[in-house]
Amino acid sequence: MKKNTPLLNALIIVAIFCMMALASTPPPAPTASIYQGNFSYPSEKDEVVKNAAKLSFISNSANPTIVLRVPHTSHEVLEEDKNVKTEKNNDGTNNLYDINVYSVIEKELLKGGFTVRDRALFEKVLGDKMVNDYSKIKELTETDFILELSNIQYVRHPFNSFTYNTTGRKGVINTSLFNCNNSIFLYGLKIEFRLIKVKENDFIGSFTYNYSPCGDTPCTYSVSCLNGNCSEPYVTQGNVRISGIRLIPQEEIERFVKASTDKLVREIMH
Amino acid sequence: MLPISPGSALLSVNTGFKKNKGISSFYMRIGKRHLFLLLLAILCLLLGVLNYFLLQPDIVLFRFLSINNNHLLQIHPHWLYIFLSGYFSDTMWCTALCLVVLVLSDLKYLNTIGKLITLLLPFLSEAAQNFGFIRGTFDWYDILTYGIIVMAFSLLSSVFKK
């Protein structure tokens, strides 16, 4: 028994100094709570302003001609000619112009009964300094309308709170409200068109369409909160955390552009 | 009654474990030199605690005791701050451990295996931090510091025996 005493003493010392070492450790870092937050925000109302009188001749015209003018025309058209834009963007940036927005719009115009002029050729005519009159453009290109895609952009919606569900006793689902100290953001989309009647050089319509991913049914995204500070809403795909503008998949952007153009065609034609 | 000279303590050491009857025996055998070294160990630990209080009051001990210090000491130059906040308390803790080992081994309360186990503790604690068994940051400089202290005390121990 006494032979073991020095070893016991050693263990006592080790225990005492271990306790000291543990007492000097930093406290456990607070962990963030993850909520499945429900978000709902209606998209802004679409805005359509048009000169119906100037559009009335369309009903008599069999196949009105139209050309799509795009922002930063020369650059974008040339880039698209190189077939750059047909590649889907997979680097996570979700650049709106990485989808083939123009092609989608033109396709819908075609479906709607328009004769769609080639953009590249049209831009060449516009680029010619000799052509300084819209009536000449009409003659040269035989185009009735210029549809200008003046803007397509993400719209930021701020939130200070969200609701989340918890399952209580007997499976009852309780909805609670979480108030964040900070603002968190979700994104929608906005697309704007301008319609110009070439012959008279008249601006005859403005069409603005909005999109919210959380329209009629609320969106559910993960939100991690620590001491009342909330992260951006996100979804996880494997190990990848997707948030911000990337929450709107490119397929969804295409669908929105398609639906907007479809509405636009109906507004022009009827 | 406490022995008044280190010689008397060593004399009692020579008598081995026959007189070891718990704490009273410990007091019988302890000398002034041992007492000084143990007080030095306590002082080291207190300095370490004070250092934590002034620079890193957010440790488990202070949380447990509900002690807050909202006025952290501002130290310049920066390297001194790094040393005091990152290494000083660890150094004091290791020094205190070595002092205790030195005294207890001198009083034959520790044998070679016991000393080895005890002196390995600083390195094991650092390894435990590295593998995430205890909270804290693994640091090679801590290992180096512990190595220097343990080596220094090994040398001191041989001098002490003479």
Q: Between these two residues, A50 and B11, which has the higher pLDDT value?
A: A50
B162 pLDDT band, cuts 50/70/90, is low
Residues of chain A contacting residue B110, judged by C-beta atoms under 8 Å apart: 6, 9-10, 13
- Which residue of B45, B101, B113 is in closest CB contact with A7? B113
State mean pLDDT over B145-152.
91
Q: Determine the pLDDT at residue A82.
A: 39
- Least-confidence region, from A17-21, A131-135, A187-191, A253-257: A131-135
In chain B, pLDDT over 90 holds for what percent of residues?
22
Query: Is A4 in contact with B114 (CB distance < 8 Å)?
Result: no
A193 pLDDT band, cuts 50/70/90, is very high
User: Residue B68 to residues A157, B52, B60: CA-CA distances in angstroms?
Assistant: 41, 11, 11
Maximum CA pair distance of chain B?
55
How many contacts (CB atoms, under 8 Å) link A and B?
79
- Least-confidence region, from A18-22, A131-135, B39-43, B57-61: A131-135
Rounded to the nearest angstrom, the minimum Cα separation between B4 and chain A is 25
Residues of chain B contacting residue A13, judged by C-beta atoms under 8 Å apart: 97, 100-101, 104, 110, 118
Strands A33-39 and A173-197: unpaired
DSSP B109-144: SS-HHHHHHHHHHHHHHHHHHHTTSSSS---HHHHH
Q: Does A84 touch chain B (CB under 8 A)?
A: no
Q: Which residue of chain A has the CA closest to B46? A: A20
CB B117 to CB A11 under 8 A? yes
Query: What pLDDT digit, counting tens, does each position of A218-258 carry?
Result: 889 999 998 889 999 999 988 899 989 888 888 888 899 99
Task: Work out the mean pLDDT of chain A and round it to a whole number.
Answer: 81
CB B118 to CB A21 under 8 A? no
CB B136 to CB A26 under 8 A? yes
Query: Is B66 in contact with B56 (CB distance < 8 Å)?
Result: no
State mean pLDDT over B99-125.
87
Map out the domains of chain B as residue ranges: 6-161
User: Residue A168 to residues A173, A174, A175, A176, A224: CA-CA distances in angstroms?
Assistant: 6, 7, 10, 12, 21
Map out the domains of chain A as residue ranges: 46-269
Q: Determine the pLDDT at residue B63.
A: 85
Q: Determine the pLDDT at residue A72.
A: 57
Residues of chain B contacting residue A9, judged by C-beta atoms under 8 Å apart: 104, 109-110, 114
Q: Which A positions 208-227 lie with beta carbon below 8 A of chain B?
A: none
Q: Determine the pLDDT at residue B157.
A: 77
> Hey, what CATH class is A46-269 in?
alpha beta
Query: Is A232 in contact with A159 (CB distance < 8 Å)?
Result: no
Alpha carbon distance B86, A8 (integer Å): 32
Strands A65-69 and A115-116: parallel
A75 pLDDT band, cuts 50/70/90, is very low
Task: Work out the mean pLDDT of chain B and round it to a whole number.
Answer: 80
In chain A, pLDDT over 70 holds for what percent of residues?
83
Residue A128 pLDDT exceeds 70: no
Query: What pLDDT digit, counting tens, does each position of A77-124 carry?
Result: 434 433 333 334 444 455 666 557 888 898 999 998 888 888 777 777
State mean pLDDT over B93-115.
88
Instruction: Tell me: ipTM over 0.85.
Output: no
